Amino acid sequence: MDRIPILKMGQFLLVTIQVDMHDQLAITLQDDLTNRIAKERSRGVLLDISALDVVDSFIGRMIANISSMARVLDAQTVVVGMQPAVAITLVELGLPLEGVHTALNVEKGMVLLRRQLAAGAS
Amino acid sequence: MKASNRLAGVIKSHEKDILADWIKEQLASTTLRGDLLKESELREQSRAFLAAVQAAVQKGSEDIAGPAWADVKQLLAELSRARALAGFSPSETATFVLSLKQPLFSRMTAELKSNAAELGEELWSITLLLDKLGLQTIELYLKSRESVIDRQQTELLELSTPVVELWDDIVALPLVGTLDSNRTQIVMETLLQKIVQTGASIAIIDITGVPTVDTLVAQHLLKTVAATRLMGADCIISGIRPQIAQTIVHLGVNLGEVTTKASLADAFQVALKRTGATIGKAKPEAAESV
């Protein structure tokens, strides 16, 4: 069965979606990710969706859900690399993902995560 | 059948005279645009048209939708298109066809001097025919004008959405004109594309040139801001005039957490601050030494 790999980088988890998302894959990812956050006691999740060309309302909600679940487990989520078409689709679907942090690329996402972690620690 | 045959006969036997009269009529009419059309061109067009009409009438059909009139309509289409593009007015274009009535009427009257009833019938059928052709001309004229407008609209859409790089990490989008859904879509796409290209983290949307903001325009603006945020960039709306601020509040539009500024300069300062850059005046002594 397909799985999306979750990479550990220090206190953070890095998830790069490089295949077309289908619903089962999204549910598996939610499962795996929450488990890993709990197991590794991660403080941040970087979700890279730069290779995602197509989203539907389900995937959109999945992204919002992952962010909320991570927050409950005390980890910040940053979604990075969203394609223009995907951003427009989500807005038109009425899913502006309020409360989800976003960044333009992985590098900026990392900076944002570190800054948030520092702000949380102080 | 009989009526059109007589018309064909009249045109055939008096073609030269009719043509001469017709051209004289057109040259004398107040709607002639000597500045836009040469007399030789007019002569050539008139000659070709009269010949085509004669050929069509000869075939015995009075129904201008029929195949017999295909040539005439083709000629008219070219003519109205050319005139629409050259800047003729609709009546100036239609006069080309309608001014043919006078010479045809006078020939027909001369032909049927003794038979009033038949003359009336003939004149009626000529009038019907030329009116149909006149309407056809106007229709074609409008069609070519509309295609011009369509093309200009597309060009306007492309022209009106430049995204400018103001600074490292800062892009600005000066909006001019009314925002409709079509334009918003293009504005959104170009802005997001530019953000990807430049890696900018702040986008300033300047609406100084937007004449009115209603709920729909506000909705479009908010959508653009939301999409920008999803990409990972911040959005500032600037250039909100006092009247527009009042309208926004009266309409009950909630701009939420969007940063808004009265002028582009203020927005730029905020953007600089957020990216950590500063701009200041050079110190006087430094300026002197340069």
B14 and B122 within one domain: yes
Of the two residues B150 and B115, the one the predictor is more confident about is B150
From A95's Cα to the closest Cα of chain B, the distance in A is: 9
Instruction: State pLDDT tens for residues B209-237.
Output: 888 888 888 888 888 999 999 998 989 99
For residue B254, is it within any domain? yes
Same domain, B104 and B200: no
Asked if the model's pLDDT at residue B87 lies above 60, the reply is yes
Q: Is 60 exceeded by the pLDDT of residue B86?
A: yes
Stretch A54-68: mean pLDDT, rounded?
89
Q: What confidence score (pLDDT) does residue B61 get?
A: 67
Q: Say if residue B287's pLDDT is above 60.
A: no
Instruction: Kindly list the strands in the beta sheet with B170-176, ordered across the sheet, starting from the edge strand earlier in the chain.
Output: B164-167, B170-176, B202-209, B234-238, B259-260
Contacts of A113 in chain B (CB under 8 A): none
Residue B165 C-alpha, separation from nearest chain A C-alpha, in angstroms: 17
Chain A: give the shortest CA distance to residue B243, in Å.
Answer: 28
> Are residues B112 and B144 located together in one domain of the fold?
yes
Residue B17 in any domain: the answer is: yes
* Chain B residue with the nearest C-alpha to that of A94: B223
Q: Kindly determine whether residue B196 and residue A102, on different chains, have CB atoms separated by under 8 Å.
A: no
Report how many Cβ contacts below 8 Å link chain A to chain B.
57
Beta-carbon separation of B229 and A96 below 8 A:
yes
Give the separation between CA B203 and CA B67, rounded to whole angstroms. 60
The answer to whether residues B42 and B103 belong to one domain is: yes
Residue B34 lies in a domain: yes
Instruction: Quote the tokens at residue B111.
Output: 């032909």
| Residue ranges of domains in chain A | 6-121
Q: Contacts of residue B231 in chain A, CB cutoff 8 Å?
A: 82, 84, 87, 102, 104
In a domain, B280, yes or no: no
Task: Over range B271-288, report the average pLDDT.
Answer: 80
Taking an 8 Å cut-off on Cβ atoms, the answer to whether B230 and A103 are in contact is no
pLDDT band at A45 (very low <50, low <70, confident <90, very high): very high
Number of independent structural domains in chain B: 2
Range picked from A74-78, A117-121, B153-157 for highest mean pLDDT: A74-78
Looking up residue B80, the CATH number of its domain turns out to be 1.10.490.70
Are both B93 and B203 inside the same structural domain? no
Query: Would residue B142 count as lying in a domain?
Result: yes
> Is B286 a member of any domain?
no
Which residue among A81, A84, A104 places its CB closest to the CB of B193? A84
Over range B254-280, report the average pLDDT.
88
Are B40 and B63 part of one and the same domain?
Answer: yes
Q: In what order do the strands lie in the sheet with A6-9?
A: A6-9, A12-16, A44-48, A76-80, A101-103
Nearest to A88 among B196, B199, B227 (CB): B227
Query: At A46, which amino acid appears?
Result: L
Q: Which of B96, B131, B157 is a domain's end point?
A: B157
pLDDT at B73 over 80: yes
Instruction: From A53, A52, A110, A50, select the one nearest A78 (Cα to Cα).
Output: A110
B140 and B222 share a domain?
no
Distance from the Cα of B145 to chain A's closest Cα (Å) equals 34
Q: Are B44 and B176 within one domain?
A: no
Residue B266 carries which side chain, given as an amino acid letter?
Answer: D
Q: Which residues contact B111 (CB under 8 A, 6 or more apart)?
A: B6, B10
Q: Interface pTM (ipTM) of the complex?
A: 0.79
Task: Evaluate whether the domain defined by A6-121 bears CATH number 3.30.750.24.
Answer: yes
B202 residue type, one letter: I
Is the pLDDT confidence value at B160 over 70?
A: no
The pLDDT score that the predictor gives to residue B1 is: 41
Residues belonging to chain A with any Cβ–Cβ distance to chain B shorter than 8 Å: 79-84, 86-88, 90-92, 96-97, 102-105, 108-109
pLDDT tens for B90-132 read: 888 888 888 888 888 888 888 888 888 888 888 888 888 888 8
Question: In Å, how far is B226's CA from the nearest CA of chain A?
Answer: 6
Tokens representing B58? 């000869």
| Residue B282 resides in a domain | no
Q: Which of B157, B179, B213 is the last residue of a domain?
A: B157
Domain that holds residue B121: 2-157
What is the H or E stretch that residue B284 is in?
A: helix B284-289
Task: Give this prediction's pTM.
Answer: 0.64
B93, B126, B157 — which closes off a domain?
B157
CATH of the domain at B252: 3.30.750.24
